Structures are given as structure tokens and as C-alpha cells.
Structure 1
């Protein structure tokens, strides 16, 4: 009988017979041990893109020397295949190994569910690690009774934690379920693990519930991580009974009430993290009794009162974070006694008074942030006595006096922010040249003196922000020797003399603001070197000479203000090349005629008070002298002027109203106290840093659901920020706020290498921001149909199609319940630095149940919308498959889905028609290498099948992935080798650390 036949036997029976046939064939012809046969069969069920299991040789007598296999005697007792990028279903056949005690498949792409029946045959199993995979479905209710270590974190398990779990695994010592999709509340039975050492349930979308008081019964517990679990209510005092606890993390919840004083009884605790909750009341005393405490973080709550003096007496305290509370009163004098303290963050409180004079002399401080308080007095001279201070952030206080001379010796400093204080006197010369400082911010003080030539030593300086002081003298020529300088903001000082020629050596310069000084002379030669300059503001100085034509060659300049100087000559015609948001040459001595491009209302206020400029152009230069005739104007002209003036007045009022609304919204954007941050990963930035980047200069795109900004954070990390239109997700389809939050919470847990990572969500009652990973190569649509389309050769296009198909297959088949994207198009497929594709823009995505869902309006983009969706408003996975079919046709043909070249046909109909008339070769993008014609034709057929007008004819996305793989195995190999990745697998996923993507 031919076992490959699918017509004579049911598929399950045929699969079973094939397995038995393979087993007996191996058993009869090889000397491999029984354990080896089980392992070999498990390996054959897994996709191995990197050939990590290539040394699994069936001719070996034993598997004990194979990758990931450990033996005790001749029996396999441990299998560790973690981090090998394997894919496929959980290989339950490994549980047939009679002495298997340890199994680790972490950081792979194991998919499907994990039924209890798959684990029960592992009678000796004590260690099970399946973390950072793609498992779905409910948690198993039954485990091997010997199990002591269970890590299922970083998957997509859903449903509740089984209350019977303690009785199912009574010997459990480690339980980690972090970052799944678990719901329900925490069961009280969690307190029934007699041997438990670690309990980690962080970052799951549990229903709002309290911390079970029974957890206080876990007398052996050492680690308790419940961050991001939607916990409410008070912290149970019973947690103070956990005498062996070393790590307590209850951060990022909605816990309320006071901090229980019993926590000061945690004699073994090393770190306590209660940040980002709604805790109130005073900080209890007694934490000085915690002899092992190193980190105490209760920031971002609503705590009030004074800082207890005894907290600085904790003998091992290294990091203290109390920022963003309502703490008030003076700083305790015991602050100077915290000898182990290295990290102090007390910003955004209402602390007052002076810092202790001895602050820093006994400790080795590395990070100090006391910003946004009411602290006064002088900066303590010994704040860097330990010689390890890296960041000194004292902005927005009332500090006075001089910058301490002792800071010149603080060579470890990287960031210094002292703006908006009352500092005065000259800056010590050596302070300008600290070698590792990247940010020096002194704005908004009363500092005086010269910018020292010693600044040449600040070779790492990126931002020099010294506006609104009393600095005098010339800008030193040595400033041109700073290779990393990006931002010079020195406005509103008393700087004089010419601009140094060396300034044009700053090739990384992005912003130069020297406005409101007394700078004279001409603009220096070599301005064309500022290829990255975005803003140039030299207004209100004493500059002379002509405007350099080279300014028009700066590719990204969008802010140019040279007003209030004594510039002469013509307005260079080259300036018309600039894409300017702000342009002002007013109040100079320019002359000649303007280029016609400038003769529009957009530039009406750009050339004011230049008496010799455009004297023959009425209405553009408002205050130009125009020696016209004194004859009385005709009545018809007077009437026309009156009507025009009225019309302009109405437009002005309308613009004023619109401007007020815009500025009102902008003010609301800066009302930071009303913003709520929902994070889906551990973040290295705050919502305030994101808000600072919401500027029109940073816009990189705009789509149906919102405008996208590029945000470069202080850490150097780049993220993309989408500001959603209006107050909800779409202009065309308004969603309730709670619905939006539920969808974002679901999408925040999606983890797949082909779906763009959603870092966090910033919410305001009138605005919502989504923070995504930044994709440097932009969208597939822009790249494919733009001037750089030539870099997308066929292997790259094939890989993009496969990546996107895997992402959509994950949404449709591996998410519970499934997610329909509803706006699949080439512009919503983004490309990273290696041109790997990721699906993006979930602004109209829908979580759907069984059967189709009915929408109130059509969402999607013209040319990609499935016919039945447009007619019936019914949406299911088949709608996405149609849209993806159009994307495939774009990749093969290089044509837009709606293009005048196609006539009245859409892309799918045009391809079918053109193929019938001229053959397949006629529709293939002429830029593609014809060596791949056969492969391209196979993929083209898949695209046409997906774009079938009848939904029933469209394959599932899981089937699409399989067909793409089968269409061109050689194409996959070439796509991988292009980037040095070796052969790729259709089931290739990233490792676990990068799974969490939205």
C-alpha cells in the first residue's frame, strides 16, 4: 500500500501509519538506542533553519553526544534545545524518554497548544522551560507530580490560572508565567505552594483584582514579581511575613492605600519596587532596619509628607527612587550619611530647602536627579567627591551661587542639566571641556563670562544648551573641533564678534540657534557642509553681507530665521529649493526682486521691512516704500480693496480661531499631569520624553489612522510615535475609549518577529499616542514605488512577502481570539534595517469571534478592500487575505493597486487580462532579474488566488505561508545568503527577547 495516498485512508490514520513505518524502518536498520529513536523522531517534527541539529546522526549508537542532549549512563536525562530557533509543535514524544528530568525549549518558535496529556507521560520531569515561544490556548491543568521548575513566560497562553495548580504540582519551587495573555484574577490557592521560591506572574492582562493575602503564607518565597498585573486595592500587610523574600516587585499596577509598615520587617529583602501605582499617605519609618536593602523604588505614586530621615540610614542602600510623588519639606540631613548610595532620584516633588553641605562626600554617587522641586542654596561642592558621578540633573529648582569649581575634576560626567535655576558667576573654564559630557544644559540662569576655549576637550559633546544667560565675548574657534556636536542653543545672551569659520566643520550639526545676541560680520564660507542642519536661527544680531546661496543646498533645513540683522543683496534664488516651515528674512536691508515662488500669501510676513526689496510687488512686502502716484484712486478700486479687506479679515478670524484650537491642543499636550502611560515592555524612557518629541519637524508620515513622528530619545534609541486622529482610533470610525484600550492591551501582548513592536501607549482624554519600534527603511509601498525601488531585487521581495504572510498567519491562527488587521497594504508593511518586513498600523484591527463580524463603516484603503467587505460590511480573515493578495501582485508587477496605467481595472483584473493577452512574462516588473521568472510566476499565481473575487476560493493564511515556501525553496536560500544569514526557514522567528511585538 502506498502510504502517500490521501484518497484511500483518512488523514489521521495515514499519518499514524507513516510514523509507524518510519519507526520500524529505523529500528530494523540502525543500532541507535531507544532513547535516540525518540529524540530523532522529535527532531524530524521540528523545523531547523540554522541546521543546529545537524549532528543528530541516526547511525550513532547513542544520542548522548548530540547537540542539546545530556545523559546519565546510557539514558537521556536532559534535553536542552533553547535558543536554536526551532519551530513547530511541542514534541510530546520526548516524554516517552523514561528518565527525562529536564526539558528546555526556550527562545524558539514552538507553536500550538500544550494539552495536559502531552506532559503526563513525563513521570520523572522536574524542570520544564518553554519560555519565549509562541504557545497558545489555556494553561495545562495537570503536570507531572515531580515538577519543581515551570517557566512558560513569553508565550500567548490565555484563560485563567487553574486554582488546582498547587495540588497538580505540589513540589513546585519556581513558577513563571510572565508576559502571556492570562485573564481572570489571581486565585487565593497561590498561597498553597509549600516549597515555592519564585512566583512571577508579571505583565499579564488579568482582570482587576487584589493581591491574595494568602501569598503571605509562602514562607520560603524569595522572589515575588507581580508587575503589570492590573492589581487594585491595598498591599496586604501579610506580605511582611515573607521573611526570606529578597525581591518584591508590585510595580505598574493600580494599588492604592498606604504602604504597610509591615514591609519594614522583610529582613532579607534586597529590592522593593512599588513604582507606578496609586499609593497614598506617608512613607512609613523603619526601613533603616532592612540590612540587605539595596534598591527602594516607590516613584510615580501619590505619596505625601516628608522623606523619613531613617531611610538614608539603611546600611546597604544604593538606589533610592521617590520621584513623581507629592513629597514636601526639607531634605533630611541624614542624606549625607548614606555611604553606599549611588543612585538618587527625587525629581517632580515639592521638596524645599538646601542640600546638606556634606552631601556626596561620603558616598560614591553616580546618578543624581533632583529636578522639578523647590530646592535652593548652593550646589554642594562635594557632590562628586566619590569620583563616579555620571549624571547630575538639577533643573527647574531655585539653586543659586556659582557652579562649584570642584566639578572640573568630575571627569566621569556624561549629562549635566542645570537649567532654570538662579545660578550666577562665571562657569569654571575646565567645566566647558569635560571629556565625556554629551549634554551640557545651563539655560535660564544668570551665568556670565566667556565660553572657554577649553571646550575643545569636550569631544563627546552633542548638545550645548546655554540660552538665556549673560555670556559675553566671542564664540571660540575651538568649538569647531567637536565632532559630535548636534545642537548649539545660545540665544538671548551677549555674545559678540563674528561667527568662527570653524563652525562649518561641524558636519553633524542639526540645530544652531544664536538669536538675540550681538554677533556681527558675514555668514562663514562652507555652510554647504551642514548637510544635517534642520534649524538655523540667527535672528536679531548684527550680521552683514549677503545671504549665502549655499543655504539652498541644505537638504533637510526647514527652519530659517535671519531677521533683524543688516544683511544686504538679493534673496538667493536657491532658497526656493528648501522645504521650510519657518522662513523669516524681515528687518534687513535686502534689495532686488523676489522669485515668483515667494509671491504667495505663505511668505507674506517673511520679507517685512526691507525698504529696497520688491518695491514693485504690491502686498508681499508690507512695509516696502513704493513711490507711487498721489492721484486719487478710482471708486471701483476702493470698493475692491474694501471687499478684499473684508474677505481677508474673515480669513484672519478663521485662522485665529483655528490657531487657538491648535495651540490649545498643544497646551493640553504639555499638561503632563493628565497623561497615562500603559507599557507593554520594560521601558528606558518616560511619557514626558515622548511628548517632547511630538513636533511637526519630526513628522515622518501620515496615514488613515494618524500622524507618525520620529522620536530620538536621550538614550540614543529611536522610536516611532503615532498620534491618532481626533480622540479615537479613526476619523471614519469612532470607537469607545474602553474598546480602544482593550484592543491596544491585546495588541501589546502580540509577539512575533513579523509584527512591529508596540512599546507603550500614552493616553490623554483628548489624545492618544502609540509608541512603536522605529523601522529605518520605511514602508514597502514607499520603497517599492519610489526612486529606490531598484534595491528590492526578487529574493528580497520574496522574503518580504513571506515575512508579512507569517505575521498575518499569526494574527489569524495563533491569536485567541483571532485578529483581523482590516488595512493590509504595502504602506502598512514596514522594513527594518535588514529589509525584513513587519506588519504595522493596527488602528482599525478587530478581535473577532466565530463567524464574520459586521462593521458600521468600511475601513481599509482603496484598491485593497475585498469586494464582499465593501458590499456587505462583513469582515473576517478572508478580507485580509484578499488585501495580501494585492500586496503580492504589487511585489511581482511593481505596479500600484490603483494606477491610471491600468485603465478602469484594478490590479488583480489587469494582471488576469494582461496574462491572457500577452502571457505571464508581460506583467512581471521589468526591473527584476529574469533568472527568477519561474519563481515569480508561482508567487504571482498565489497572489491571484488570494485576490479571488469569491472568498471561498481564497486559501487561509496558514496555507498561503506553506504555498509561498513550496513556491521557491531556492529563492529562500538566496534571500538569506544576501544578508549573510544562511538558509532561511519558512518558520523562522526571532529569539525570545524580541518576540513581544505589536
Structure 2
């Protein structure tokens, strides 16, 4: 049969199309990568550009090819991929570089990884890998870079790692590795960088074999549970630049062989138990820029030759060093940080200190240094932190220091300084903390203080300052604390002081001040403590003092105040009230007429106490019997009218009761024996009694007829929801009400706020709680009340809150996840005991879900939400633990979870970054007593553990409680609270 011409043309066209199709088909390596793409979840579409229409994958995102067109590199860092490790990649025979950094790969690392035989670079850090590290990794003979940081690898470091032939970088930080650091690592003589920090290794010694790593440039072994001495063999690490073994339990002396580390730039030995004197031979370490051996048990003197090095930072604080500071310290031309506090140093600060260096930070507190201050401390205009408290310095403040415009923090308390403070010193524009307490300074407070625009804390108590407080004090817009008690100040309190809208503490007690309280004091809305005791103040106490909503400490004793006590004082939530030894008269306001305040009004003969006023006027009443008879007649007539009114009211009330009886019985549910009725509650829900507002409603303070005080939460009334909205989670006040009642109604624990009763009639939803006089932890920390919270108090609050959460997670049946743990939901009673509150978004964990439940919306507060919760909506106790870790960081730093100071970071990130760069001193709240630093650091570590980005790394709440209790053993016995 003959074939027609058109048919031949058609066949030829089809054949040509097939050839074109196969010429454009994806090659074998592209198909392998497509298989990898299909095996991983890609929620952000990072691999959406990988198209099977391309001939090769060489132009795909994250893929690079060699000159032969074969795939040599796959780099998919931060692509939000999750799933199992793509083993198929090992079929790319030319693959040399693989990076899956910062994804969510959540499988074990398969043994078959050894089939990626040409790998030179492997980075799997910041993922969720689990299980042991495969011993077969050492079969990758060309591997030079291996980074497994930030995963949950467990088990021991394989001893087979000693077989690596070309490995230069090994990073295993932040995993769950156990066992000890194997001596076999000393066989990898090609290593330049060995980083194993932050792993829960078993206690073990530093292997002397690591001294064989003669090419090593960085050795980082912090938090590795190391014990015993630093091996002498480490002296052979002549190329080592960074040596960090901080936060271990190393003992013994620093070996003299360290003088052979001729390339060392940074040596970090702090937080160990090293002892003995600092060795000789420092002059050989000509590259040393930073030396930190703080918080050890070092003895002896600071070597001269150490101070002659070109150091930038020298930290030897918290040791047992003796002697004086070497004069040779002035020969360090780059020295910007010198911290020698908490030693036994004596003698003066050297005259030439800072003359030839840009000294920024000087802290020599808690020594016995003496003499006058050198004049060159700010010679180069760089000094920022000047901390010399608790020494025996004397003399005056050098004039040049008054011109130090770089100064930010000045702490000179508890020394022997005298004379006048230079006028310019008062007005330094960048100083935010000025502390001169406990010296013998005299003279006036200069009016130049108005230039100290950055000043937030001014403490000049227990000196001999005299004269009046300058009007310019009112220009310090951000002043939070002004303490000048125990001086010789006179004159009136300046009227401009009411301009200090941020002021939280004003203590001017024990001076010679006169006049009255300034007009307009109600504008000081943040005032928490007002102490003007033992002055010569006079006049009437203004009613407006009752408008200071957050005032809880008021002491006006031993003055000449007269007139009646303002009834508005009853609006305040006072922890301390002392108006004794004045000239007050009239009645004591009803709220204070009880035994709690019995000593608050003594020494005021004109006050009516225990009916004294009635007895005083009895004689006068006897002289006016006719007038009394008239009054009695009026009272009799009024009584008759009153009785008629009562009878009428009772008749009406019975009818009303019959109508409302059924409703009243059903709307109130009590969980404890009550000594009050619902009518008392509803009558007190007035705007004047509001003590808090939130997204869900208002909270009222209600003082009951029996003297008790309760807190009442009234939920907002919201419009009825459509039928389609019924399944939304916690989308209405009804949901929150039901959850709160269901959760709190059955809980009995000392650290969970008590729900007395509740009311729900459909239109009105009320929750009645026990009243917590000190409000929330958030208010205490961040509303200028933190002066009330010394470290032992903060620790007690942390421990109480931890025990409350531990009960919810471990002892409640079934377990409960709070889902909104934050400082504002931790309430504080009159004894600073803490209780968890606000269970409106709590969730009962169902056993069928094994502790994990997926929610349809995010609950919680910005800054406290665990990272994984924000994008997976998986609910379990680990979310609460993260939030509690943020609360710990708030207690340690005194900072809120979100703050512009953090530059867009959250508190947890800011703390980690600042710790690494600047150390714990820049993290810990400067208002906390430094003698607790060791314990604060331990609690800070617990907070960081709780805020680990990986949920599996966070301890259980029961473990958190144990960690806190164990840490508390380091607190001085005299400062321990009732925990």
C-alpha cells in the first residue's frame, strides 16, 4: 500500500516534536532533586521555581553546578522546609556542598549519609534532627566542614570521628549529647575549629590528647560539665586564637604552659573553680586582647607582665586576688574594659589609669581600694561605666570628671568622699544612673542638673547636701527614682517636681524641708512610693493625693501636717501608711479604722481614736439639754417616718423576691463557703472601683461589709454570634467565662488564684476572685514599682509561679495548659507570694492526643508566644514553659518582653545576643544588689533553658521547680525568703 505525501509529512512532524521534547527533558540530577522536593513540605514555596521544564537544575534556587554541568552544591538555608532528611541527594555524585541550615528537618540522620562520598561541606545546623550522630560520617574522607549545631542529637560523640582525614571545622553546639568528650578527637590533626559548647555531657576531664591539635585556632567548650585541671599539653596549641572553657567545674591552677599559646587573642576561663596564683610568662602572649578569668578562686597578686600586654578587656572579678592594681595597667593602649570587683585589692587607682587608653568600663567595686580618684579617668573622653562602690576612696570628685560627656552610669556609694560635687557633674547629659549614697558630700545640688536629660535614677542619700532642691529638677522628664534622704536639705519642695510624670519613688525623708506638699501632685501618675518623713513640712494634706492610683507606700510621719485626713486616701491600695507624729485632727477614714493601721496615726492628739472625740464633747452636750430635747424629738419623728418606709420597702421587696428567686438561685455558683451575697458585689461595680482593664473586660476592687476585699472581673457584653461562628475558638466572652469557670472552679492550689464564685445570667457575666493587694508582677516590674522587688523577692515570685504551673501540668487531672503565661497574669499578694491567674484561654490536654492539641487560632500575648506555636498551632506544656522562661528573663533584666531598646528583637533574643557580646552585666537589672549575681546568673540560665527554640530542649515544669530550688541553695541564708 502506498503512503501518501501528506501522511509522510505528518509522521515527520511528529517525530521532530518528539526529538525536541526529549532534548528539553530534565536530566537525571534534576529528577533526583525533584524527588527531594516532593519528599519535603515547603510551606513558603522556596522550591516553587524548580521546574521540570528545564533541561538541567543548574539555575534553580540554591543549586550550583560545576564546569561539567553536574550539581556540586545545594544550599537551602532558611527555606522553612520540614520532613525527613532527603537521602536521595547522595545520588548526586558530584555533590560537594550541602547546607540545610535553619529549617525544620525532623528525622534522624541516616547511616546512608556516608554514600555522599564527595561531600566537602555539610551544614545541617538549626534543625530538629533527633537520635544519635551516625558513626559512618567519618567515612566522608573529603569532609572539611561539619556543622550539626542547634539540633536534638543525643548519645555520645562517635569515637570514629578520630578517623577524619581532612576535617577542619567540627561544630556540635546546642544538642543533647551525653558521655564525655572523646580523646579520639585529638587524632584529627587537621582541625582548626572545635566547638562543642552547650551539651549535657557527663562530667569528664579535658583529654590531654586534645593538645595534639596543633592546627587548632578555636576551641569552645562552655557548659560541657568539664572537671579537673586544664592539661599542660594545651601549651602545644601554639596557633590557638580563641580558648573558651567557661561555665564548667575546672579546678587546679592555670598551667604555666599557657604562655606557649603565642597566637592567643581571647582566653575565657570564667565561672570555674580554678585556684592558685596567676602564672608567669604573660609577656609571650603578645596577641592577647581579652582575658577573662572571673568567678574563680584565684589568689595572689595581678602580675605586672599581664597588665603590660595590649589588652582590650581584662576581667578578673569575683576571685580572691590581693595586693594593688599594677601601675603597668596604664601601658595597655587599647584597654576599654577593666573589671576587678569582688576581690581583696587595696591601695589606690593608679594615677595614669586611662591616660593612654580609651577606657569605657571600670568596675572595681567591693574591694578595699583607697586614696583619691586619678584625674585621667576620662582623659580620652570614652568612659561610660564608672563603678567604684563599697571601697574606701576619699577626697573629692575630680573637676575633669565633671566634663566627661561620655559617662552613662556612675556608682560611687559607700566610700569616704567629701567636699562639693562639681557643678558640671550634676548635669552630664548621658548619665542615666547617678549613685552617691553613703559618703560625706556637702554643698548644694547644682541647678545645672536640669541638663541631665537622660537621668532616670538619682540616689544621693546619707550625705551632707544642704540648701534647697533646685527648680530645675522638674526638667528631668524620665526620672524614675529620686532618693535624697538623710541629708541637710532645706526650703520648700519645688513646685516643678510635679512635672516628673515618670517618677516612681520620691524619698526626701530625714531632711529640714519646710512648706507644704506642692500643688498638682495628682499629675505624678506613676508615683509608687512617697516618703517625706522627719522634716518640717506643714499645712493640710491635699485631697488630690488620693488620685495617685499606683501609690502604695506613703510616709508623712514626724512633720507638722494639720487638718483632717483626706477621705480620698481610701482610694489608694497602700501597703504602708504612716501619718504618725503630726498635728492632724478629725475622724480617721473608715477604711483605716482597724487594727492593721493602729500605728499609722499615733502622735496626733487631735485625731478621733476609739470614740475619744465623743468623750471629749460629752460635757458640752450636758450644757445644751434643751437643744438635745429638740433634736430627740426630731429623731423620733424621723424614726416613725423611717419605720413606715421600711414596711413599704419590705412589701415591695417580697414581691420582687418572688419574681427573681428562681433567677438568683441559678445565676450564682459558689466554689467556697462565702461570707457575702451577690447584692453586695453588684452594688460596688462602679467606675471609681476599677483597678484594671483588659481585652475581655474590667476588674473592680470590692470592699465587703465583713471587711474582706475581693476582685471582680466583669466580662464585656458582646453581640450574639451568628450560627456560622459557633465553632470558633475563644471568640466570645461566653467562651472565656466557661473556660475560666471550668478550670478555676475545681483547682485548689496555693499558687493558683482562688475563684470564689461566678455569675452568668446571659447579660451579665461576673467572676469573683480573691483580692491580690500588690497587683500583677507586670505592674510591679514595669510601672516604676520594681524598687519594691529586691532579688530574693523576685526569686520567690518565680518559684511560686513555677510551682503553680507545675501543678497544672503534672498534678491536675487531666493536665491543663494555660496558654497565656505572662507577668501580667501572675498576681502578687501582700506578702509578695505569687499566684497564676486568668485562665480564659486555658486548655485541658486530652490524653488521646498525647499532650498535643492543634488549635484553630493563636492564644497568648505578643512576646511570650513560643516560636513553634506561632506557625504550627500545636498546644502542649512546652508552650507554657517558653512563656515562663520569658517571665524569668523579665525578673532578671527588669525589662518587658518587647521594647524598642531591643531593635526589633524579642527579649529572649536580646538576652542571648547581649550575653555573647557584652556579658551578663549588661543583661542583669542594674537595680539588683550585685552580691546576688551568682544566684541571678543561675536563674538566668534556667530562663534561657526554658526559652530554647527547640521544644524538646525545654525542661518540664517539675524540673524547672527543682532547678530553681537547687539554685536557691547559693543564696545567703539571711536573705532567703519563705520558699
**Aligned-pair CA distance for 1:190:** 1.4
1:586-630 CA distances to partner (integer Å, 9 max, x unpaired)? 111111112221112111111111111124447xxxxx9975999
Separation of aligned partners in 2, 1:608 and 1:826:
36
Q: Does the alignment pair 1:606 with 2:600? A: yes
Structure 2 counterpart of 1:385: 379
Q: Does 1:531 align with 2:417?
A: no
C-alpha contact (below 8 Å) 2:254/2:274 kept by paired residues: yes
**Which of 558, 572, 581 is the matching residue for 1:578?**
572
Q: In structure 2, how many angstroms separate the alpha carbons of the residues matched to 1:213 and 1:781?
A: 66
For 1:956, which of 820, 834, 850 is the aligned residue? Answer: 850
Cα drift, residue 299 of structure 1: 0.5
Q: 1:283 to 1:598 in 2, by over 3 A?
A: same
Residue number in structure 2 paired with 1:986: 872
CA drift of 1:131 comes to 1.6
1 CA distance for matches of 2:279 and 2:72?
50
Count of residues in Structure 1 that have an aligned counterpart in Structure 2:
698
Q: Determine the structure 2 residue equivalent to 1:713.
A: none
The Cα offsets for residues 799-837 of structure 1, whole Å up to 9 and x where unpaired, read as: 999xxxxxxxxxxxxxxxxxxxx999999xx9999xxxx
Displacement of 1:103: 1.7
In the superposition, relative to structure 1, how do residues 617 and 238 fare at CA in structure 2: closer, same or farther (>3 Å)?
A: farther
SS at match of 2:114: coil
2:367 to 360, 373, 376: 373
Q: What secondary structure, in the 3-state scheme, does the structure 1 residue paired with 2:305 have?
A: helix
3-state SS in 1 of match to 2:321: strand
Contact 1:187 1:212 in 2 (8 A): yes
Q: Which residue of structure 1 lines up, in the alignment, with residue 306 of structure 2?
A: 311
Q: 3-state SS of the aligned residue for 2:544?
A: helix
Select the residue among 539, 548, 563 that pairs with 1:545.
Answer: 539
Alignment partner, residue 147 of structure 2: 151
Equivalence for 2:404:
410
CA-CA distance at 1:220 after TM superposition: 0.4
Relative to 1, partners in 2 of residues 1:528 and 1:782: Cα closer, same or farther, differing over 3 Å?
closer
| Greater Cα offset, 279-288 or 332-341 | 332-341
| Partner of residue 160, structure 1 | 156
Q: 1:995 aligns with which of 937, 949, 952?
A: 949
Task: Return closer, same or farther for 1:972/1:551 CA change in 2, 3 Å cut-off.
Answer: closer
Q: Which has the larger radius of gyration?
A: 2
Aligned to 1:134: 128
Of the three residues 261, 266, 269, the one matched with 1:266 is: 261
* Secondary structure, aligned partner of 1:178: coil
- State how far apart, in whole Å, the 2-side matches of 1:863 and 1:484 are: 45
Question: Given the superposition, is the C-alpha separation of residues 220 and 387 from structure 1 closer, same or farther in structure 2, using an over 3 Å criterion?
Answer: same
Q: From 799, 807, 811, give the equivalent of 1:860.
A: 807
> 544-553 vs 481-490, which deviates more?
544-553
Which shifted more, 607-616 or 410-419?
A: 607-616
2:210 counterpart (207, 215, 236): 215
Alpha-carbon distance, 1:547 to partner: 1.7
Match of 1:43, SS? helix
Tell me what 2:219 maps to: 224
Look up the match of 1:489.
483
Mapping 1:108-119, distance limit 5 Å: 108-117=103-112, 119=113
Q: CA deviation at 1:354?
A: 1.3
Residue pair 1:594, 1:614 contacting (<8 A) in 2 also? yes
Residue 270 of structure 2 corresponds to which residue in structure 1? 275
- SS of 1:552's equivalent in the other structure is helix
Shift of 1:266: 0.5
8 Å contact 2:588–2:609 — kept in the other structure? no
Asked whether the 8 Å contact 1:225–1:249 carries over to 2, the reply is yes
3-state SS, counterpart of residue 136 of structure 2: coil
**CA distance in 2 between partners of 1:202 and 1:412 (Å):** 36
Q: Report 1:290-301 matches (<5 A).
A: 290-301=285-296
- CA deviation digits over 1:395-423, x for unaligned, max 9? 11110001000012211111011111101
Q: CA deviation at 1:842?
A: 10
Distance, in Å, in 2 between the alignment partners of 1:104 and 1:39 is 14
* CA 373–61 in structure 1, closer or farther in 2 if over 3 Å, else same: same
Alignment pair present for 1:569 and 2:563 = yes
- 1:106 matches 2:118: no
1:289 is the counterpart of 2:284: yes
User: TM-score, structure 1 length as denominator?
Assistant: 0.64
Greater RCO (Cα-Cα under 8 Å, separation 6 or more): 1
Q: Is 1:183 aligned with 2:69?
A: no
Counterpart in the other structure of 1:80: 75
Please report how far the alpha carbon of residue 486 of structure 1 lies from its aligned counterpart in structure 2 after TM superposition.
0.6
| 1:182, distance to aligned residue in structure 2 (A) | 1.2
Task: Give the match's secondary structure for 1:519.
Answer: strand
Report deviation, 1:113. Answer: 1.9
Asked if residue 346 in structure 1 is aligned to residue 340 in structure 2, the reply is yes
User: TM-score when scaled to structure 2?
Assistant: 0.65
- Separation (CA, whole Å) in 2 of partners of 1:491 and 1:295: 41
- The residue correspondences of 1:737-776 to structure 2 (distance < 5 A) are none
Match of 1:621 in 2: none
8 Å contact from structure 2 (residues 308, 328) kept in 1: yes
| Root mean square deviation of aligned Cα | 4.3
Q: CA deviation at 1:242?
A: 0.3
Q: Distance in 2 between matches of 1:131 and 1:382?
A: 48
Query: Residue 122 and residue 568 in structure 1: after superposition, are their counterparts in 2 closer, same or farther (change >3 A)?
Result: same
- CA 1:42–1:241 in structure 2 vs 1: closer, same or farther (change >3 Å)? same
Does the CA contact (< 8 Å) of 1:780 and 1:831 recur in 2?
Answer: no
Matches of 1:183 and 1:478 in 2, distance apart?
62
Give the gaps of 5 or more residues in structure 2: 1-20, 620-692, 701-711, 733-748, 755-775, 780-796, 822-838, 880-905, 913-947, 955-979
1:105-131 deviations in Å (ceiling 9; x for gaps): 2223222322322x1231221111122
* Structure 1 gap segments, 5+ residues each: 1-26, 619-623, 631-775, 802-821, 834-839, 847-856, 867-878, 892-924, 929-939
Distance in 2 separating the partners of 1:796 and 1:300: 57
Find the aligned partners of 2:123 and 2:390 in 1 and give their Cα distance: 49
Please give the alpha-carbon distance, in whole angstroms, between the structure 2 residues aligned to 1:457 and 1:844.
43
Deviates more, 1:292-301 or 1:584-593: 584-593
Q: Is the 8 A contact 2:697 2:713 kept in 1?
A: no
Q: Which residue of 2 aligns with 1:97?
A: 92
After TM superposition, the structure 1 = structure 2 runs for residues 784-795 of structure 1, keeping only pairs within 5 Å, are none
CA contact (8 A) 2:698 2:714 kept: no
Q: Distance in 1 between matches of 2:809 and 2:185?
A: 52
